[in-house]
Amino acid sequence: MDQLLQHLVNGLVLGGTYALLGIGLTLIFGLMNVVNFAHGEFYTLGAYVAFAGIALAGLNFNLAILAAIVVGAALGWLCEVTLLRPLRNESIDTTMLVMIGVWIAMQNGELLVWGGVAKSIPHPYPTAPLVMGPVAIAPLRIIVLVLAVGLIASSWLLIHQTKLGRAMRATFQDRDTAALMGVSIGRVHAATFAFGSALASAAGALLGPVFLAYPSMGDLASLKAFSVVILGGLGNLTGATVGGLLLGIAEELGAGYISSGYRDAVGFVIIILVLLLRPSGLFARQERIG
Amino acid sequence: MRALGRGLLAAALVTLPLWLADPYYLHVAIMAGIFGVLALSLNLLLGYAGQLSLGHAAFFGIGAYTSALLTLKCLWSFWPALAAAIALAAAAGWLIGRLALKLRGAYFVLVTISFAGVISLVSVNWIELTNGPLGLPGVPAPDLGPWSLRTKPAYYYLVLSGVALSYAVCRRLVRSRIGRAFVALRENEPLAESIGVDVTHYLVLAAVVSAAMAGLGGSLYAHYTRFVSPEVFLFTYTVTMVIMVIAGGKGTLAGPLVGAVLFTVLPEALRAAASWQWQMLAYGLLLVLLVFFLPRGIVPQIVASFSGHPRSAPGSRAPLR
């Protein structure tokens, strides 16, 4: 029982960042119909920006995370404008191949810049865990969870309370009609990709200090983001949030009670089972954003 | 003219160990052959049936592990182990086909990736069977009757037969009713279904044959490098196959082979000039450039330019639909 509570708390921390990854991908996938295999590379990018900011430039922790968000958004925007915009009317497979290319190029670029050795990202919080009854949790993990929840809430506000968010929801529901109503599809797409990439980058910057930063960390992050999207349903913000938390908890429980070697298999099995049994996602009444 | 060209090419391939005696060049030729089998296999699913599998390394790895384990632990000889490797990979292809081919596009891709991910984790974690990350060293070289195929020229002929067999199977399949059904499904599934093409049957068939060929490639690889580790499941292998098929020309018979030769020779030639990371970086950029500038691939492009007018080569079409 004590173990169970501990696993749940750890799973929640992981799940918060998975939710960030999932929200970014579900927006890109749902709205732009782009299967973004480079999503995890933005996560890696975030972790390295945090590393560069804290360890090399001496920024403070929160500023470094902000820097990761800004860099992720800028590179995401660049990626959309240069690569995806010219291919907007091509099939989903074409853009998927381009994103696979971006994925390979970014990952190996990171390998060239930072080398293959994993980097530990310093953080200002004490390493001694806070003990609350049966649960022990490192202060850093609490901060990570709080920041993740804050970012998820901001995404909600952006989608539901701003003009851009309304344009995004309209584009998701019917791109042509939205365009007829004066929504600039190009700007919505660029904003969506930048926003999704910024969230992935933030997730990397948050989880990087908890674990380590290394060039191939994005591969698993991509697959986890896809598991979350499939679990929650395409373009479904609630689904991605709940799906992320569920995946984090399921992984912790799997690692704790089955075998830690198969921790990452949980995401794969979820993808396979959900797609086979309930392809529209666990929470989808119908596919829509918000 | 075409017959002459083909005869010359066949003669060149058969006599290759005579005029290219350097073991290093033979090694490159053997690897190109193994990747040729893999690219032909992926092309059947991607180029003809129109389904992108990003889990093809799983079938390759299953073939490699089956063959290695049967020869090492059960002391089978190479040929029955090869047959078992093909059969087991085909069975895995059947399973994935049955399960996943009701999904399309991105969802099919994700199931294939997940399948490869699970298999790869099993190969790392089931240490009693697979020896985990350490891998299985000492996979025996194959024999043919009294002769050992240990030498590079002998192995070259083995791989060449494998390529020829795969090519013949693809050609026979593609030019039959079955191949036309594949293309019909790729081009317009509802229309094909409406005239009585059984979607599930044909897509599963494509997956089974494709997986079996990847299993053949895996077995050939295992007995050539004589070592199998979870690295056979690396995503890099899948990406390499995809690039070979796309660059060579998907949905053509010669395209994957041209792609396989090009993308085995090119990295070897560049090895002195650039490290592996630079090469992978270049691969990524190249994939992007190919989609933008050469979406149909090299072979259809050459065919189109030789025929004088930009008609589409048979069975090929602009980017992956």
* Residue B316 pLDDT: 45
If pLDDT is split at 50, 70 and 90, which confidence band does B319 have? very low
Give the residue numbers spanning the domain of B137: 22-238
Tell whether the model's pLDDT for residue B315 goes beyond 50.
no
Q: How far is the C-alpha of B68 from the C-alpha of B61, rounded, in Å?
A: 10
Is B247 inside a domain boundary? no
Q: Which helix (H) or strand (E) holds A91?
A: none
Contact A75, A42 (CB under 8 A): yes
| Residue range B151-184, pLDDT digits in tens | 888 889 999 999 999 999 999 998 998 888 888 8
- Write out the H or E segment, with its range, that includes residue A249: helix A237-257
The whole-angstrom distance between A67's CA and the closest CA on chain B is 25
CA distance B87 to B103: 24
Q: B110, B128, B129: which to substitute to probe chain A, counting the most A Cβ within 10 Å?
A: B110
Q: How confident is the model at residue B312 (pLDDT cuts 50, 70, 90)?
A: very low
pLDDT band of residue A265 (cuts 50, 70, 90) is confident
For residue A11, pLDDT beyond 80: yes
Write down the mean pLDDT value for chain A.
87
pLDDT surpassing 50 at residue B80: yes
Portion of chain A with pLDDT greater than 90, in percent: 36
The reply to whether A3 falls in a domain is no
Average pLDDT, chain B: 85
* HEC profile of B262-296: HHHHHHHHHCCCCCHHHHHHHHHHHHHHHHHHCCC
Q: What percent of chain B has pLDDT over 70?
A: 95
**Which is more confidently placed, A196 or B303?**
A196
Query: What does pTM read for this prediction?
Result: 0.83
pLDDT-derived band at B317, boundaries 50, 70, 90: very low
Within 8 A of B110 by CB-CB distance, chain A residues are 226, 230, 271, 275
- A101/B285 touch (CB, cutoff 8 Å), yes or no: yes
Q: What is the 8-class DSSP label of residue B52?
A: -
Within a domain: B101: yes
Residue of B nearest to A114 (CA): B277
Number of domains in chain A: 1
Residues of A at the B interface, defined by Cβ within 8 angstroms: 29, 35, 83, 86-87, 90-94, 96-98, 100-109, 111-112, 219, 223, 226, 230, 259, 261-262, 264-265, 267-269, 271-272, 275-276, 279
Distance CA A242, CA A138 (A): 23
Whether the Cβ atoms of residue A264 and residue B117 lie closer than 8 Å to each other: yes
Q: Which residues of A touch B288 (CB under 8 A)?
A: 83, 98, 101-102, 105
Of the candidates B111, B110, B121, the one whose C-alpha atom is nearest the C-alpha of residue B61 is B121
Per-residue confidence (pLDDT) for residue A245, from 0 to 100: 92
- SS3 string of B165-209? HHHHHHHHHHCCHHHHHHHHHHHCHHHHHHCCCCHHHHHHHHHHH
Residue of A26, A214, A268 to mutate, testing the B interface (most B Cβ within 10 Å of its Cβ): A268
pLDDT of residue B171: 92
Residue B267 lies in a domain: no
> Mean pLDDT, to the nearest integer, of A206-220?
88
CA pair distance B278, B81, nearest whole angstrom: 37
Residue B146 lies in a domain: yes
Given this model, what pLDDT does residue A274 score?
83
Does any domain span residue B302?
no
Stronger pLDDT, A202 or B267, i.e. the higher one: A202
Q: How far is A119 from chain B (nearest CA, A)?
A: 18
Give me the mean pLDDT over the A89-115 stretch: 87
Q: φ, ψ for residue B317 (rounded to 5)?
A: -155, 155
Q: Is residue A199 part of a domain?
A: yes
pLDDT at position A285 is 55
Query: How much is the average pLDDT of B50-77?
Result: 90
Within-domain flag for A4: no
A2 pLDDT band, cuts 50/70/90, is low
Question: Are the beta carbons of A265 and B117 separated by less than 8 Å?
Answer: yes
Whether residue B271 is predicted with pLDDT greater than 80 in this model: the reply is no
pLDDT at B320: 45
**pLDDT for B220-262, tens place per residue?**
999 998 888 888 888 778 888 888 898 888 888 888 999 999 8
CB neighbours of A142 closer than 8 A, spacing ≥ 6?
A13, A130
Instruction: Please determine, for residue B126, whether its predicted confidence score (pLDDT) is greater than 50.
Output: yes
What confidence tens digit (pLDDT) does each residue in A25-46 have? 999 988 888 888 899 999 999 9
- Render pLDDT for B3-27 as a digit per residue (tens, 0 to 9): 888 888 888 888 888 788 788 889 9
Q: Would you place residue A74 in the very low, low, confident or very high pLDDT band (cuts 50, 70, 90)?
A: very high
Domain limits at A65?
Answer: 19-218
pLDDT range class, residue B55, cuts 50, 70, 90: confident
**Residue A264 domain-assigned (yes or no):** no
Contact assessment for residue A246 and residue A16, using Cβ atoms and an 8 Å cutoff: no
Contact B42, B245 (CB under 8 A): yes
Q: Is residue B32 part of a domain?
A: yes
Contact B288 A268 (CB under 8 A): no
Distance from CA of B124 to the nearest CA of A (A): 8
d(CA B79, CA B69): 13
pLDDT tens digits, one per residue of A133-172: 788 888 888 888 999 999 999 999 999 999 999 999 888 8
Collect all residues with Cβ–Cβ distance below 8 Å to B109 and sequence separation of at least 6: A35, A96, B52, B53, B54
Interface test with A, best of B42, B107, B115, B237 (most A CBs within 10 A): B107
Nearest to A272 among B114, B124, B242 (CB): B114
Mean pLDDT on A113-125: 86
Residue A59 above 80 pLDDT? yes
**What is the total count of domains within chain B?**
1
Is the separation of the CB atoms in A32 and A238 below 8 Å?
Answer: no
